[in-house]
Amino acid sequence: MYLSYVGFRVRDLPRSLKFYTEAFGLVPVDPGEPARIDPKLPWAILLRDPKSGQRIELNYYPPTSPYAVPYSPGEELDHVAFRVDDLPETLARLAKLGHPAENVAHYDGPFQTTPNYRMAYVRDPDGIQLELFDVPGDDGTYSPDKY
């Protein structure tokens, strides 16, 4: 397991992308992604620091999204993501500790499954949203060029 990235909720994705790339020199992990951004759709873009490898994810939710809630200063932290070795095992352990996976409308079970990864969300004791994900078939070795 390792801390993968921290996600910030942003109001204007192109504006925030420009800020973090120009002000801090962060670069998109997928260099072609900025050209594919659609402001009508929810979008997340992963940026990394070329020197340290540290990453942030900029998360945008359009007004029609249930996650597009009013902003209050200091609430821009969207979530912190941990890549885990085995998502179902981790979720079972967290449920025993009193932190079950959140019910998310578009998931088809306790977690979302895609061709490349599985993910779920839990809350820490103070309510901070934590994303947990695994990549079945991958050895889990950290790389600054992948989630």
Going across the sheet that includes 43-48, the strands are 27-28, 43-48, 55-60, 2-10, 77-83, 129-134, 118-123, 112-113
Percent of the chain with pLDDT over 90: 27
The fold adopted by the segment(s) 2-134 is 2,3-Dihydroxybiphenyl 1,2-Dioxygenase; domain 1 (3.10.180)
Per-residue tokens: 17: 């992308």
Q: Give whole-number Cα distances, 122 to 51, 57, 58, 100, 146, in Å.
A: 31, 18, 19, 6, 22
Per-residue tokens: 16: 């925030």
67-115 pLDDT, tens digit each: 888 877 667 787 888 888 889 999 998 899 888 888 766 666 667 777 7
pLDDT confidence of residue 106: 62
pTM over 0.85: no
| Domain residue extents for the chain | 2-134
